[in-house]
Amino acid sequence: MPSIFKNIINNFLEFHSDEASPDRYKKLRRNITILMIIITTVPLLVMASVNYHQYNTRLTDEIVNPLRAISNKSKHSIELFLNERLSTIRFIESLFSFEQLSDKKALNSIFRVLSLEFKGFIDISLIDKTGKLRNYAGHYVLPTGDYSQEKWFHEVSIRGTYVSEVFTGYRGYPHISMAVQHMTKNEEIWILRATIDIKQFESIIRAMGLEAESDAFLVRNNILQTHSKYYGKVLEKCPIPIPERGFGTTITEITDPDGRNIFMSSIYFEESDYVLVIIKPRSVLFKSWYTLKTDLFAITIISIIMIIIIAFKLSEALVKNIQEADEKREMAFREVQHSQKLSSIGRLAAGVAHEINNPMAIINEKAGLMNDLIDFSPDFENKEKFLNLTGSIIQSVERCKKITHRLLGFAKRLEVVFENLDLNNVITEGLGFLESEAKHRNIEIRTNFSENLPRISADKGQLHQVFLNIITNGMVALDDGGTITIATWDQDKDTVGVSITDNGCGMSKETMKHIFEPFFTTKKDYGTGLGLPITYGIIQKIGGTIKVESEENKGTTFYIYLKKNFDNPNI
């Protein structure tokens, strides 16, 4: 596994420094950036999401448990309330006989005590076994009723007790009724029925002390049994599906019809189909969670943005360094190659020059002898012509000699005599040699010397040659009436700089590549191609550097940097 991973990373960062593709630095930068972003943001995101989920779970637990508790407690209260009422009625039913209860006065006094002692009773009625209303005490005057066909009547006949769902009935407002059947050994059957105001439920629910956004209500068979703040009035259909009966409290997280995320706790009553539902919107419960979530989100986003910025900057700097190092290396390599090329050409040139000198000397002497013999002999036909011929042989030898001597001059290990020199003076002296030609061709030579130029240590004669070579080249490149500008300046603590600029024809990139190579010349007829190579050699020997910048038809500038104090290893 680790090796696979390593391979992937290696492939990703693969970089061919030799490849000529100009995009390779861009690619490298892109890859480094992506890799950096991935390896930093992935753990961050994983950690953030793990935190998120852990906190979420923990928070849910902490919300759910109190909800369960309050749900149980409230359900218990309501049940207790109902049971209390039911046992009161049963108590009355057991205590009194049918005859006693049939007495209007007695039932009224019982009801009075009942309403006084127990809250919520609306009325109480006595019903005989055929379902006929026999007596009534309460706030309403009911028509003489026959309940034999009512559902609850059958129910109470079977079970003995009955607690109804909420209904409006004759009384015109929601209530519940509960009935108890009296059954004795002598088969005397009658039913005592009481109705109870559901306001009592609501007061129990209020006692729960829920938050403003929360809601609690009773539901039976999907019909609201109490008012709900958000989900309808009593006896309307509950818009939220109520879960099936389970053990204890069921808590579900759902989205209500209004689109709110809510926690719904539901608990079924043990002996009836009532369900106590408590609704708490998630937003309330999770207020702290949302703040935290926002913080977490913000921190994560800010971190990622910072990581990305840093990754970009860092990879940019990194790749820039690599690129610079590459360029430097390449340049150094090219320089080494160049100087090696020059020195091997130099050795070759010297060898050739030496070998040619001997036969040249022979030609020279033979032609000289011929010349002498002809000269000393009396006149004969074509004597003049022969003398011309030998003369031009000797002249040609002279030309060859010049070439070989320059070749040797290029190649030989120059003995350099270091002196403490004022560079400005050296240049001014050198310009003296060129004055007449410049004047003749109407070329202006401007000097822009730094006044307090530090003195340098170099060979005066060699420097003369350097400047003469370059300035002569400049003059060749110039049309009559052009300008050559020579400037000197203090480059840094070790070097001084000289620039020689002409506004002549300039040269192409191709030419620039070769100008320091021996025998490369653009002056087809009269150039030896040795001026600049010699210049280059001298500059190297005295520890300087030479650079050239040129643009075709604009001109050329040579920059020469010379050491103020050069420790020549040859001395």
Partner 1 sequence: MDKIKILLVDDEEDFVETLSERIQMRNFDAEIAFNGQEALQLIKNKTPDVMVLDLKMPGMEGMEVLRRVKKDFQNVQVVVLTGHGSEKDEEEARNLGAFEYHQKPVDFNILVKTIKNAYKNKIDNTMISSAL
Residues forming the site for partner 1 (CB under 8 A):
354-355, 357-358, 360-366, 368-369, 372, 376, 397-398, 400-401, 405, 408, 412-415
For partner 1, the closer CB: 223 or 400: 400
Residue 529 CB, shortest distance to partner 1, in Å, is 21
Residue 537 CB, shortest distance to partner 1, in Å, is 14
Measure CA of the first residue to CA of the last residue in the chain; give whole Å.
Answer: 63
In order of 16, 81, 124, 160, 333, the CA distances from 121 in angstroms are 94, 12, 8, 20, 108
For partner 1, the closer CB: 436 or 570: 570
Rounded CA separation 426/17 (Å): 45
Rounded CA separation 182/291 (Å): 61
Residue 497 CB, shortest distance to partner 1, in Å, is 30
Q: Where are the beta strands (DSSP E) in 305-418?
A: none
For partner 1, the closer CB: 38 or 417: 417
Neighbours of 150 (CB within 10 A): 16
What phi, psi does 393 have (nearest 5°)? Answer: -60, -45
Rounded CA separation 126/92 (Å): 11
For partner 1, the closer CB: 97 or 388: 388
For partner 1, the closer CB: 22 or 378: 378
Rounded CA separation 383/371 (Å): 10
Tokens linked to 517 = 């190579």
- Asked if 183 and 160 count as a contact pair (C-beta separation under 8 A), the reply is yes
Residue 492 CB, shortest distance to partner 1, in Å, is 34
Residue 360 CB, shortest distance to partner 1, in Å, is 4
For partner 1, the closer CB: 336 or 362: 362
Query: Nearest CA to 538 among 453, 434, 467, 487?
Result: 467
Query: Nearest CA to 536 among 521, 526, 550, 548?
Result: 548
In order of 465, 482, 562, 570, the CA distances from 430 in angstroms are 8, 19, 17, 26
Residue 389 CB, shortest distance to partner 1, in Å, is 17
For partner 1, the closer CB: 146 or 398: 398
For partner 1, the closer CB: 110 or 360: 360
Rounded CA separation 517/511 (Å): 10
Residue 507 CB, shortest distance to partner 1, in Å, is 33
Residue 393 CB, shortest distance to partner 1, in Å, is 11
Q: CA triplet 200, 204, 209: central angle to 5 degrees?
A: 145
Residue 365 CB, shortest distance to partner 1, in Å, is 4
What phi, psi does 497 have (nearest 5°)? Answer: -115, 145
Residue 330 CB, shortest distance to partner 1, in Å, is 35
For partner 1, the closer CB: 277 or 397: 397
Neighbours of 186 (CB within 10 A): 6
For partner 1, the closer CB: 253 or 398: 398
Name residue 141's beta-bridge partners: none
Query: Nearest CA to 444 among 481, 401, 396?
Result: 481
Rounded CA separation 380/286 (Å): 131
